Amino acid sequence: MIETTVTIRNHYGLHARPAALFYRKIRQYRCAVTIQNLSRPDSAEVTVSPLHLLQIGVRQGDAVRLRATGDDADMVIADLMTLIETNFGD
Amino acid sequence: MSYRLIGAGGASGLALGPAFLRTAEAPVDDLIIEGQEAALVRLVEAQAMVANNMRVLAERERAVGRDDPALLFDFLSFLAEDTTLTDEITRHLHSGVPLSSAIDSATATFAAQIAALDSSYHRDRATDIAALGREIRAALHGRKLALPTPPPGSILVVAELSPSELAELPDDLAGLVTADGSPTSHTTILARARGIPTIVGVGRAALDIPVDAELALNGDEQVLLVNPEPHERATFLAQRMARPQVSAINGPTQLANGTPITLWANSSSPDEIARAISHGADGIGLFRTEFLFLERHTLPSEEEQYIVYRAALAALAGRPLVVRTLDIGGDKPLPYLGLPHEANPALGLRGIRILLHHPQLLVAQLRALLRAAVHGDLRIMLPMVANPEDLALGRRHIAEVAIALQQEGIAHRANILFGAMIETPAAAVTIDLLAPLADFFSIGTNDLSQYALAADRTVGQLSQRYPAHTPSVLRLVDIAVKAARSANRPISVCGELAGIPESAAVLVGLGIATLSMAPSCIPGVSTYLARHTADELHAMAEQALAYSGN
C-alpha cells in the first residue's frame, strides 16, 4: 500500500473540474484508491468516487490523505501528486 | 406597466425578446416495475444511458474547444454511473418504495449533505446531483431530460435548468432567465461558455412573469425589465447598439477629441487577469485579496500570498497592479479570526479597522506585497479610510515591514506607491488632509453611495430607489476630484459606476482620467467614451451634478 498526505492548493478545492481530472486519472489504473479529508474531523476515509469527492468537501488549503493498493499503486499516487502540484492545470 | 427584476449573477450580453415560460415542473409518471431485481436492472441501464448522454455532450463541447464545459460533462458522466449512487438508491428500494421515489430520496440525501458544506463551490454542486436524479428518472422511460424547444429569438424563463438541458438549447435562443442559480452554478458557467445572455437567481418572481411578456435582459448588470415601456425599450436598444460585438477593444481608449483615458479592470483572483487583458484592460485597478482568506481554516502564509501576487504581476507583464489590502469584516467573517458579531457590520470593524484587532494580518500581507513588488508595478491601497490617522497607521506598518525585511536580508521594494480608497464621505471631503500621506486615491463608488445615501445596497428596493448615479454621490466625487487635483495626486474610480457607460462618461466629465471596472464592461465603456469629446462629457457632468434624471 502506498500512502501520502498532501494539501490541496487549487482555488476552488476538489470539485467539478478538478474532481473530474482526479477521478479520470484513477480510472486509468487497476487499483483501489481511498481519500480522507484530514481538515474535516468528521470526514471518513472513502474510496474515490465522484459522489464521495463531493461529499468530503475538499476546500483550498485542506489536507487529504491518499492510499492506493494494487497494481501500479506507486504510479497512480505519483500521477495524482503531479495533478495536485500543478493545481490541475489552472 | 413595466417592472424590474434583479438577479444574483449571469452571463454578459443584452437581449430583447418575447418570454418563453417553462416554469411548471414536467409531470413524471411513476413506473411500476415488478420485483426489486428487475428494478435494479432498470436502474443500472438508466444510469448507463445518462452517463452516455453526458459523454456525448462532453465530446461535443470538446470538439468546439470548450474544454471546461467538456470536463463538467465528463464529471457528470462519472457521477451518473457512480456505484455509490446505485448503492444508496438500492438501499431505499429495499425499504419497499417505488424506483422513482428511491431515486428521488437517494439524490435528495446526497444533495442535502453537499448543500450543508461550508463552501459555496461545493454547495452549487448539490443542484447538479438533484438534476442528475431527474435525468435518471427520465432515462427510466428511455427519455432525455429535455425542454420544449423555445421559439427563435425568445428568452427562456425557467425555475432551474440542468447542465444537459442548457447544452441542448438552440443557438437561436436570445436569452435565459432562471429563478434559482448562483454566479458559480453550472448553469451560469455553461451559459457564459455558450455566450447566452443570462440572468440567474431572480427568485420566485421569475415564475410570475406573464406568458405574453416582452423581456429586456441585461446580463452585464443582471437587470431584467419586464414589459418595457416604449421609451425604456428605445434606451435598451440604444444600449445594445453601443455594445461592441467583439469582446476586445482595438488600441488605447481616447475621447473623440483625443484625450487619453486609462481603463483598468477589477479582479478578484489571478485567474481573471488574462481575461481582463484580453478585454483591453491597461492594468488591474482593484485587486481584491479576500479570496486568499475566505473558505479556509487558517490564515494564508506570507509565502502563499507572495506566490499569488507574483503570479498576478507576471500575468500583467509590466502593467500596474493596484492591490487592496484585506477588506473583511462582520459581513464576511473569517471563522478562524473570531471577529465579534456586529449588529451593523457596514459601520463596524472592516477594512483598515480590522488592524485594531489583528495587526498581524496586515503585517503578513504587506511583507508579501513588498517582496512581490520587486517583480512588477505593484501598488498598495487601504480600504475604508476615514481619517488621516488610518493612513498614517498603514504608512507606519509599511515602513516597519520594510525595515524588518531589510534586516532579514530578504529581497523587497520599499518605495512602493501607497494610496487610499475613497469610500467614506469623510474621506471624500478631506482629500487635502489625506494627500500628504497618500500617493494616489481611488474612489469606491459602491460603498461611497451606500454611506452617503444611508441605503444598504444589498437591499434591492433601496438600490433602485437610491442609485449611485445621483447628485449627492456625484458631488462627493466632484469635491474629491478637485481636491486631488489641487494636491497634485492622481485619482481614479473603481466602483460599479465606472463600468456603466453613461456613468463612466459623467465621471470622466468630472475630471477622472482612470476608470477601473469589471473586465466585461471595458469594451462598452471604451466605445461609448470614444464617441464624445471632453467638452461634451463636461457638459453632461454639469447637468448630472444638478439633476440625476432618474
pLDDT in tens, B231-241: 898 888 888 77
Question: In terms of domains, do B256 and B276 share one?
Answer: yes
Question: In terms of domains, do B418 and B513 share one?
Answer: yes
Question: In terms of domains, do B222 and B329 share one?
Answer: no
CA distance A48 to A78: 16
Amino acid at residue number B170: P
Residue B201 near residue B8, CB atoms below 8 Å: yes
Among the listed residues B131, B58, B45, B161, the one whose alpha carbon sits nearest the alpha carbon of residue A20: B58
pLDDT in tens, B89-148: 999 999 888 898 999 999 999 999 888 887 777 777 888 898 899 899 989 888 887 788
pLDDT (0 to 100) of residue B428: 97
pLDDT (0 to 100) of residue A13: 82
Which CATH number goes with the domain that contains A13? 3.30.1340.10
Mean pLDDT of B63-87: 88
Over 50: is that where the pLDDT of B550 sits? no
pLDDT band at residue B457 using 50, 70 and 90 as cut-offs: low
Over 90: is that where the pLDDT of B446 sits? no
CA distance B294 to B245: 36
Instruction: Give the cell for residue B143.
Output: 427519455
Positive/negative CA dihedral, A11, A13, A15, A17: positive
Question: In terms of domains, do B384 and B450 share one?
Answer: yes
Residue B521 designated active-site: no
Percent of chain B at pLDDT > 70 equals 92
Tell me if A13 and B122 make a contact (CB, 8 A cut-off): yes
Indicate the Cα dihedral angle B236, B239, B245, B248, nearest 10°.
Answer: -140
Number of domains in chain B: 3
CB atoms closer than 10 angstroms to residue B365: 25
pLDDT (0 to 100) of residue B250: 56
Query: Could you say which of B120, B140, B160 is where a domain stops?
Result: B140
pLDDT band at residue B248 using 50, 70 and 90 as cut-offs: very low
Least confident of A25-34, A54-63, B25-34: B25-34
CB atoms closer than 10 angstroms to residue B301: 11
Domain of residue B204, residue span: 3-22+147-240
Does the residue B175 lie in any domain?
Answer: yes
Tell me if B75 and A50 make a contact (CB, 8 A cut-off): yes
Over 70: is that where the pLDDT of B464 sits? no
pLDDT (0 to 100) of residue B30: 67
pLDDT band at residue B247 using 50, 70 and 90 as cut-offs: very low
Does the residue B481 lie in any domain?
Answer: yes
pLDDT band at residue B51 using 50, 70 and 90 as cut-offs: very high
Instruction: Give the cell for residue B386.
Output: 476615514
Query: Could you say which of B206, B240, B274 is where a domain stops?
Result: B240
Amino acid at residue number B108: A
Using a CB cutoff of 8 Å and minimum separation of 24, what contacts does B94-97 make? Answer: B94/B36
Positive/negative CA dihedral, B33, B39, B43, B46: negative
Which of A24, A39, A57 lies closest to B74 in CB terms?
A: A24
DSSP-based three-state secondary structure for B263: strand
pLDDT (0 to 100) of residue B541: 95
pLDDT band at residue A68 using 50, 70 and 90 as cut-offs: very high
Residue B538 designated active-site: no
Query: Could you say which of B100, B121, B140 is where a domain stops?
Result: B140
Mean pLDDT of B206-229: 92
Beta-carbon pairs below 8 A across chains A and B: 76
Positive/negative CA dihedral, B231, B234, B239, B240: positive
Question: In terms of domains, do B356 and B223 share one?
Answer: no
DSSP-based three-state secondary structure for B447: helix
Which CATH number goes with the domain that contains B191? 3.50.30.10
Query: How does the average pLDDT of chain B come out, rounded?
Result: 87
DSSP for chain A reads -EEEEEE---TT-SSHHHHHHHHHHHHTSSEEEEEEETTSTTPPPEE--HHHHHHTTPPTT-EEEEEEEETTHHHHHHHHHHHHHTGGG-
Phi and psi dihedrals of B162, rounded to 5?
A: -80, 160
CA distance B547 to B550: 8
Give contacts of B 91-150 with A, CB under 8 A: 110, 113-114, 117-119, 121-122, 125, 128-129
List CB contacts of B132: < 8 A, sequence separation 6 or more.
B50, B76, B79, B80, B107, B162
Across B374-412, b (16+ Cβ under 10 Å) vs e yields ebbebbbbbbbbbebebbebbeebbeebbeebeeeeeeb
Domain of residue A47, residue span: 2-89
Measured between CB atoms, does A79 come within 8 Å of chain B? no
Measured between CB atoms, does A24 come within 8 Å of chain B? yes
Over 50: is that where the pLDDT of B246 sits? no
Question: In terms of domains, do B45 and B173 share one?
Answer: no
CA distance A29 to B265: 44
Helices B471-486 and B534-546 cross at an angle (nearest 10°) of 130
B279 DSSP assignment: T
Which CATH number goes with the domain that contains B93? 1.10.274.10
Does the residue B406 lie in any domain?
Answer: yes
Residue B475 near residue B543, CB atoms below 8 Å: no
- Taking CB atoms and an 8 Å cutoff, what residues of chain A touch B298? 61
Which of A13, A52, A90 lies closest to B84 in CB terms?
A: A52
pLDDT in tens, B324-334: 999 886 566 67
Question: In terms of domains, do B368 and B344 share one?
Answer: yes
Tell me if B72 and A17 make a contact (CB, 8 A cut-off): yes
Question: In terms of domains, do B160 and B99 share one?
Answer: no
CA distance B514 to B282: 10
pLDDT (0 to 100) of residue B66: 76
pLDDT (0 to 100) of residue B331: 61
Least confident of A12-16, A56-60, B422-426: A12-16
Does the residue B50 lie in any domain?
Answer: yes
CA distance B224 to B64: 30
Least confident of B49-58, B188-197, B208-217, B512-521: B188-197
Query: How does the average pLDDT of chain A come out, rounded?
Result: 88
Amino acid at residue number B81: E
Over 60: is that where the pLDDT of B27 sits? no
List CB contacts of A65: < 8 A, sequence separation 6 or more.
A3, A4, A5, A35, A36, A38, A45
Question: In terms of domains, do B517 and B422 share one?
Answer: yes
CA distance B332 to B435: 30
pLDDT (0 to 100) of residue B25: 59
Q: Give the distance from CA A4 to its chain's centroid.
A: 10
Question: In terms of domains, do B94 and B191 share one?
Answer: no
CA distances from B342 to B227, B299, B318, B377, B521 (A): 41, 21, 41, 37, 34
Question: Could you tell me where the DSSP H helices lie in B141-229?
Answer: 163-167, 186-194
Mean pLDDT of B72-76: 92
Residue B394 near residue B352, CB atoms below 8 Å: yes
CA distance B367 to B370: 5
Instruction: Give the cell for residue A83.
Output: 495533478
Question: In terms of domains, do B301 and B198 share one?
Answer: no
pLDDT (0 to 100) of residue B26: 58
pLDDT band at residue B296 using 50, 70 and 90 as cut-offs: confident
Over 60: is that where the pLDDT of B212 sits? yes
Number of domains in chain A: 1
Question: In terms of domains, do B234 and B256 share one?
Answer: no
B266 pairs with which residues across the strands?
B286
